[in-house]
Structure formats: structure tokens, C-alpha cells
Structure 1
Amino acid sequence: MIRLFTALEIPDEVAEKLIPLQRGLEGARWIERSDFHITLRFIGDVPEDIADDIDEALSDIPVYPFEVELEGLGEFGGKHPHTLYAGVKPSDPLTILQGRHESAMRRVGLKPETRNFTPHVTIARLGRVETGAVYDFIRANSPFAAPSFTVERFTLFSAKASTGGGPYVAEKYYPDFGWVNESED
């Protein structure tokens, strides 16, 4: 079994805007910079042979360059916040790409995702952080925005079977341009 998800990677210039947020909230478990991403589709634990089918389905998804912009901070969990995140400005290209991932996973035979797509970058897991402290943190760090960036590919990641799942491993990029041997002229 392998735990998989698809996502967009966060470029360094955007990550540099997220990192300063990662302080001042006692008890938060901050996400490593290398694990910042925007999840397109959580796939979950699948057998290796299904992973091959997933790879094939993902290979058929076209990717056309589009802009993504982070804006705002939020939490998941309501009265009992468990995740702190930077929001992603809604865009049609992002919604379309995510929908293609959902359709591809259904064709492979996976159950539909039951949660609404809320694009975001998780910056902390909150565990036992007090609710008031979370909302105070969001207010103190708002408004938040980061430079837009161009998406030209998405990534299939694997994760450890644990809470939080990181560190994540990039298994494959789509579109797959193949290996480039830079030593050849």
C-alpha cells in the first residue's frame, strides 16, 4: 500500500512569504517549507497496481499554464480549529484542473471526494491550540497575500501513514517531460 495525493508545488518566492507566519502561536506544529503544497486530490492508501492505474489516468490530464495567488489566512475545524492555512484566490483554471483530477480518480475506481474543494496551503497543525489564540493569530497576520506564480505542472506525492503525513515525496510530475541529461551538448 502507498498513500498518495496530487498537488501543486509552492515556489520558493511564495514559500518565503509563508515562513515568517510560522511563529507566535504556542502549541502549533509548523509545516516544513519542503511540504508546502496545494492539494488537488487526496487519493489515500492504494495497492501498488492501482497506483499504476492512477499514474496512467493522471498522464492523460492536460495542463495549461495559469496563475495562482495566495490570499488570506483561515482555519479548518470551526469551534475546534485543527489546521491553519493560507488561502488560494479562486480561479477557473484551478477549479477545472481539480475537477479533472476528481474525474480521473473516479475512472480508476476510487470513491468520490466528499469534501468541497477549498484550495489552500497548510502552514500549521493546531492540536491543542486554544481557539481564541487561533483567531487572534489570523487577525494579527491579516491581510495576507503572496506574489502570484505560474503553474505549469502538477505532482503526484506519496506520504507517510501518519497524522500530517510529511515529509512528502514527489513521485512523478505531470506533464512528464522525461529526464534531461544536462551534461550532453
Structure 2
Amino acid sequence: MRLFVGVLPPWRARDELTRALGPHRAAWPALRWLDPANWHVTLSFLGEVPEEILPELDTRLARAAARQAPMTLSFAGAGAFPSARQARVLWAGVYGPRPRLIRLAGSLGAGARRAGAVQTDRRQLRPHLTLARSRTDVDVRDLVETFEAFAGTAWEARAVHLVRSRLGPVVRYEPIAEYALSASAPGGRS
């Protein structure tokens, strides 16, 4: 099964971003806008994972998450991959304690590899929320500039989720496990 570990933003954060995007979507017909129900912040992409390693994977991901504290995150600004001039992916920025997010992503990936998930992505985390995709290059510089000033309301990430990705004409993401971020926050704050 195709899996990743990510943070699922609360509905109030998704709704706020949906309202901000609403007036702009129709002006960008070359973009395929993702359903807000599928929005997530990927921390570790695992790829195809054999079912027989799920018990060990579950144990290791729970352990990795438990070593991290909840953290305050928010959506702010926008950008594109590979660039705003030749975008294939439009994204919203994820702001929060970046070193802790990177450490969490690394720990989750390492735990998954130890459990036998050999296709984990080893690139350093670039926290973002994918909003839209395109099969061809699209110049989204105007849209990125419009959202430069967007600053969403902060929210608390208290858990990460193991999510199954079901590909097909309509991509669906199905959370199959939740792992609490349960350590004490460094310095007593998130």
C-alpha cells in the first residue's frame, strides 16, 4: 500500500485558506485544485509499503512522534515548485518551529526505514501544503504575489497521521493511524 506520514490541518485552518483562495480559483483554469478534504502537510513519504511491516511501522512511528512536543503551525504566503514562473505545484507555506518540524520528519523517516519501508524520501523537509497541480508549466507569479501577504490563524499540531494514498481518477487519502506528539515542549512552549 502507498503510505505517507503527515499533519492533517484542522478544518478551521482549511476553511480559512479555502475562503482566501475562492475568488482566485476560476481565474486559473490550468490548475487542478486539490479538495481541501485531502489537504495535508507531508512529513515523510514512504511509498509502497508491504502490509506485513505495518505492526513494526506502527510501533516505530508512535515512538518517533512521542519524542516530539505539539507545535503551533499556521499557513502563510504561497509558492510553487519548481518555480513560480514554471509551476507544476502551487503551495501555501507552513510556518512554525522549522527545526523541530525537520527533526520530526527525520525521526519519522528513520523509524519507517528501520521498520522496513525502504522507499522513504530522504530529502530535507520543505514544509508546505499543496493547493493545486498542473500537468504543464504554468506561470503563477501573479497568484503567488497575491498570496504573499496571506497569514492564517495559528493552530496546534498535536499528532501526526499515517495516511494511505489511493490513486485513481479521484485520489483519496485515508488516515489509518494517529500518533500523538506527546513530549514536553522545549522551553515550555511550542
* TM-score interval for Structure 1 and Structure 2 normalised by the shorter chain: 0.7 to 0.9
Give me the whole-angstrom Cα distance separating, in 2, the residues matched to 1:129 and 1:39: 23
Letter in 2 for 1:71: A
Q: Give the fraction of aligned pairs with identical amino acids, expressed as a percent.
A: 27
- 2:144 — aligned with what? 138
Higher strand share: 2
User: Which ranges in structure 1 are unaligned for 5 or more consecutive residues?
Assistant: 177-185
Aligned to 2:89: 83
The one-letter amino acid of 1:7's match is G
SS of equivalent residue, structure 2 residue 172:
coil
Aligned: 1:174 with 2:179: yes
Partner of residue 102, structure 1 = 109
2:34 counterpart residue number: 31
Aligned partners of 2:50, 2:120: CA distance in 1, in Å? 18
Normalised to the residue count of structure 2, the TM-score between the two structures is 0.81
State which of 128, 133, 147 in structure 2 corresponds to 1:125: 133
Which stretches of structure 1, 4 residues or more, deviate above 6 A after TM superposition? none
Separation in structure 2 between the aligned mates of residue 72 and residue 141 of structure 1, nearest angstrom: 5
Tell me how far 1:116 sits from its aligned partner. 2.5
- With the length of structure 1 as denominator, give the TM-score of the two structures: 0.84
User: Secondary structure of the equivalent of 2:87?
Assistant: coil
Greater CA deviation, 154-163 or 23-32? 154-163
Task: Report the counterpart of residue 79 of structure 2 in structure 1.
Answer: 74
Aligned residues: 172
Q: Where in structure 2 are there 5+ consecutive unaligned residues?
A: 182-190
Residues 175 and 142 of structure 1, relative CA distance in 2, 3 Å threshold: closer
Moved more, 32-41 or 136-145: 136-145
Separation in structure 1 between the aligned mates of residue 30 and residue 4 of structure 2, nearest angstrom: 27
Question: Quick one: which amino acid aligns to residue 15 of structure 2?
Answer: E
Q: CA RMSD in A?
A: 2.1
| Inter-partner Cα distance in structure 1 for 2:120 and 2:130 | 22
Higher helix share: 2
Contact (CA 8 Å) 2:44, 2:120: kept in 1 or not? no
Separation in structure 2 between the aligned mates of residue 162 and residue 101 of structure 1, nearest angstrom: 27
Query: Is it true that 1:7 corresponds to 2:18 in the alignment?
Result: no
